[in-house]
Amino acid sequence: MPMTGPTSMAAVVECVPNFSEGRRKEVVDKIVYSIQSAPGIKVLNVEMDPDHNRLVVTFTGNRENVQEGAFRGARAASELIDLNKHKGQHPRMGALDVLPFVPISGVTLEDCVEIANKVGARIAKELKIPVYLYESAAKKPERANLENVRRGEFEGLRVAILTDESKYPDYGPRMLHPTAGAVAVGARMPLIAFNVNLKSTDVKIAKEIAKKIRASNGGLPKVKALGFALEARGMVQVSMNLTDYTVTPIAKVFEAIAKEADGKGVEIAESEIIGLVPLDAVCDLAAKYLKIGQFSSDQVLERRIWG
């Protein structure tokens, strides 16, 4: 029998490198082409920002291909960008500045930490660029926060890396690459931008609820939240970033806001998901609505075709 069952699901890792070049189109093109030249890579998005003088590429591949694509992007950037000549509004320390790996499907965050380590070690060894591991890949707790890693930027780190032990890289030489600087390599979960709009014109209500639910005030873990007025629409908004939907699912956030709003006598008007959302997070919501105990994204027809 040629086939007797559904096909196995391919692992998908997303990579979102940020490069310090957003003005010279021929350089941007070469970097993107170098990523695409690796086998099995799919480039989903390219954002070239002249003000920030910064390039953000979003691409995917399996465990192996995504490493090769990331390395080729790093190599191209180190050949084409000279940070000594780079100016822009966005803080930066490297030609390839940050390199996060994100688990999408068939891989875990731990897998992405391993990938970050492998790619980081290779960049350090072959390109002679110091590598700092950040977010979930961080080996030192203070490096989980990218701001701490990048503090001082290219110009400041040039000295600090030589003299300040806390600035020693996780991989590679204890000195900046003369033109490509240093790179932060990390792993993180996909972000979900989620807003809940309330039938009220009192922005205090949205701000109070945001304060109550956000992680930084002891609320729901992995939730960032702010309150805004939507004046043209006569509503207020709790605007959120969910930084790990497997820790705090969208449904849990929604229910928490519904409860808080109810306590204040305010109704939920609607929600919004801005941009992209992982399939598993959508399936989780469908299961909640229908009270389905066991519902897996493997049951989504398109996943059998595409995955």
Footprint of a copy of itself (CB under 8 A): 1-7, 12, 14, 25, 28-29, 32-33, 36, 42-46, 48, 60, 104-105, 190, 250-251, 254, 268-273, 275-279, 282-283, 285-286, 288-295, 299-307
CA 21 distance to own-chain centroid: 19
Closest separation in Å from C-beta 38 to a copy of itself: 13
Write out the two tokens for 214. 């956000």
Nearer to a copy of itself, 13 or 161 (CB): 13
Q: Which is nearer to a copy of itself, 227 or 278 (CB)?
A: 278
Least CB distance from residue 180 to a copy of itself, whole Å? 22
Q: Which is nearer to a copy of itself, 154 or 194 (CB)?
A: 194
Verify whether residue 90 is a known catalytic residue: yes
Q: How far apart are CA 188 and CA 144, in angstroms?
A: 10
Smallest separation (angstroms) from a copy of itself to the CB of 296? 10
> How far apart, in Å, are the Cα atoms of 293 and each of 245, 255, 284?
18, 18, 10
Catalytic-labelled residue, pool 52, 86, 90, 177:
90
What is the sign, positive or negative, of the torsion defined by CA atoms of 291, 292, 295, 299? negative
Give min distance, CB of 196 to a copy of itself, in A. Answer: 8
Min CB(206)–a copy of itself separation in Å: 16
Of 228 and 295, nearer to a copy of itself (C-beta) is: 295
Contacts for 285 with CB less than 8 Å, ≥ 6 apart: 250, 251
Shortest distance in whole angstroms from residue 252 CB to a copy of itself: 12
Give the DSSP letter of residue 24. -
Minimum distance between the CB of residue 46 and a copy of itself, rounded to whole angstroms?
A: 5
Chain centroid to Cα 127, Å, comes to: 24
- Residue 101 near residue 66 (C-beta atoms within 8 A): yes
State the DSSP code for 275.
S
Asked whether 93 and 184 are in contact (CB, 8 A), the reply is yes
Tell me how far the alpha carbon of residue 217 is from its chain's centroid: 23
Please, which residue, 104 or 175, has the CB nearer to a copy of itself? 104
Q: Please give the DSSP secondary-structure letter assigned to residue 23.
A: S
CA separation (Å) from 180 to 15, 22, 76, 115? Answer: 20, 15, 10, 21
Cα–chain center distance at 42: 17
Whose Cβ is closer to a copy of itself: residue 25's or residue 174's?
A: 25
Residues with Cβ < 8 Å from 301, sequence gap 6 or more?
none
DSSP state of 94: B
Q: Which is nearer to a copy of itself, 3 or 265 (CB)?
A: 3
End-to-end Cα spacing for the chain: 22
Euclidean distance between CA atoms 96 and 19, whole angstroms: 4
Point out the residues that are catalytic. Answer: 90
